Amino acid sequence: MTSNVLTAPATRRAPARQTLRRYLPALVAWGVGALIFLITTAYHYRVLGTEPRPAKLIFEDWLIWDSGHYLDIAERGYDTFERHAFFPAYPLLLHASDYLPGGQRVAGPIVTMLVALAALILIQRLAEHEFDGPVARRTVFYVVAFPTAFFLYAPYNEGLFIVFAVGALYAARRGNWWIAGLLGGLAGTVRLFGLLLLLPLAYEYLRVHRRPRWSALALLLVPAGLLAYSWYCWTTTGDALAFAHAQDHWHRAYQWPGVPQWHALRLIGEQPLLSARSLLYAQQLALFGLGLITLVLALVGPFRFRADQRYLIMYAAALFLPLLITEVGPDDPLGSLPRFLLEIVPIFFVLGRIGARELLDRTLLLTLMSLNVINILTFLRRDTFVS
């Protein structure tokens, strides 16, 4: 009896240790990414800041560009028409954090960072399910080293979209169709293109079941999130497509495939050599090329995905196509492209497989991480927008 009393606590602690050990790659990667984000932000705040520095959180430096709009929506709601372009899930999360100690400006960044951790854990789980432990470990490190990985930790909605999208894909792969449909619907409340999850989910469903069953009704939950937001827009503005019409204010337009990339290439030639703008456009094109190459490698060659993994290719293609045709104004045609590449997780699965060679792995990590630090500093300067 004494033996049972002594071993019971250890038995209870064992699952916690096993969980920690299982998700250690995601936890370590998340910690590395957080350190890069915090140290670089603090360096900008303390050393490079040109404005007077009253006592405030360094996170205040991030309340620019889209993040400022998310916080304003969380605090005041959709008080202007153009803000309907920002979908409600992330502002609602920030608003909920207002009930935590410190409010939105203290608890909000912490909640956002925890969402980033959840995103990395789900990416690791999906990578382990589809490939193996080493690929999963390299994948999460490539994610946090990516040149725009700081958007996972900053007040942006990238992490939340990844949680819902990757969670939906993983649930579908496990046959949990109602959970997959629910998470797919929630993804549609984060970004418009969450609706595109319907394609890989439907493909995977038909691959498994061959023909629709009652469980196929779960897929109808995927457009439910977008429809709910559309209904809100209609009741408040009289325009059910306010989220789309508001994009005109932000100069987003659709072109023929490749036209935005050609415009970015042309702008490089019009800028002084090695100027901030020319380097910005060059990086955007390079990351676009990296995304395109990895998607090709997922289809052909030694790193191609198996036939039963084609739902990942469909997901990647569905999110990559808008990047091919979307232009954000004449001065920054590929704006937001590097940020949205974070959401195309099959890119990182391919990199995780390529990185099996140690030298290539270290070179790729160092290159991506260096660009990440540079982009954080560039973003915070406010004069050259890298997202």
pLDDT tens digits, 269-279 = 888 877 888 88
pLDDT tens digits, 46-78 = 776 655 455 456 677 787 788 888 989 998 999
Task: Reply yes or no on whether the pLDDT at 114 is more than 60.
Answer: yes
Compute the 3-state secondary structure of the chain and give helix, strand, coil in percent, each to the nearest 5.
Answer: 75, 0, 25
Q: How many helices (H) and strands (E) does the chain have?
A: 17, 2
pLDDT of residue 174: 95
- Which long-range contacts link 354-360 to residues 24+ away (Cβ below 8 Å)? 354/297, 354/303, 355/138, 355/142, 356/134, 356/135, 356/138
Task: Identify the weakest region by mean pLDDT among 29-43, 253-267, 268-282.
Answer: 268-282
DSSP category for residue 46: I
Distance CA 283, CA 366 (A): 16
Q: Note whether 289 and 338 are within 8 A (CB).
A: no
Question: What's the token pair of residue 107?
Answer: 């608890």
pLDDT tens digits, 286-312 = 999 999 999 999 999 999 999 999 999
CB-based contacts of 42: which residues, under 8 Å, 6+ apart? Answer: 58
If 0-12 CB within 10 Å is exposed, 13-18 middle and 19+ buried, where does residue 258 land? exposed
For the chain, what is the largest distance between any 2 Cα atoms, rounded to a whole number of angstroms? 82
3-state secondary structure 142-177: HHHHCCCHHHHCCCCCHHHHHHHHHHHHHHHHCCCH
